[in-house]
């Protein structure tokens, strides 16, 4: 009987952990998508100083949050976002509008990709 109770307790803990991790990843990625959208609007308006500050803020925040999100997400996704954010800081510093906008779009796509990769679907299970 003790084995059944222990197994059931571990199973319930596992379910709560999965739900928590999915919600945390989705919430974090949505935050970064909003930040990328704000940065995109600044880039469209050619406000390069503000864009450079926002891109550095994005990078610094990602450095902090990636340590926690790395528990739940494949490190390749985290490294790809970090690399793209590094590129974005240099594009905004050099006032390269087309590459900056492309980089922001890539960051948005990567955030969507992370969320889709972590969702509990048949495709992700098998």
Mean pLDDT of the residues in the chain: 91
Please, which pLDDT band fits residue 124 given cuts at 50, 70 and 90?
low
Domain ranges of the chain: 21-118
Mean pLDDT of 75-98: 95
**88 pLDDT above the threshold of 90:** yes
The verdict on pTM exceeding 0.75 is: yes
Q: What is the pLDDT of residue 118?
A: 81
CATH of domain 21-118: 1.20.120
**58 pLDDT above the threshold of 80:** yes
Q: What is the pLDDT of residue 126?
A: 61
**CB of 81 closer than 8 Å to CB of 62:** yes
């Amino acid at each position: 009987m003790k084995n059944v109770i222990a197994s059931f307790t571990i199973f319930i803990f596992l379910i709560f952990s999965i739900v928590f991790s999915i919600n945390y990843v989705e919430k974090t990625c949505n935050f970064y998508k909003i930040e990328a959208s704000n940065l995109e609007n600044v880039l469209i308006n050619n406000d390069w100083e503000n864009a450079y500050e926002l891109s550095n803020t994005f990078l610094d925040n990602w450095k902090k949050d990636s340590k926690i999100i790395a528990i739940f997400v494949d490190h390749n996704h985290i490294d790809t976002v970090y690399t793209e954010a590094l590129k974005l800081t240099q594009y905004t510093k050099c006032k390269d509008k087309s590459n900056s906008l492309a980089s922001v779009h890539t960051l948005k796509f990567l955030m969507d990709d992370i969320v889709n990769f972590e969702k509990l679907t048949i495709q992700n299970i098998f």
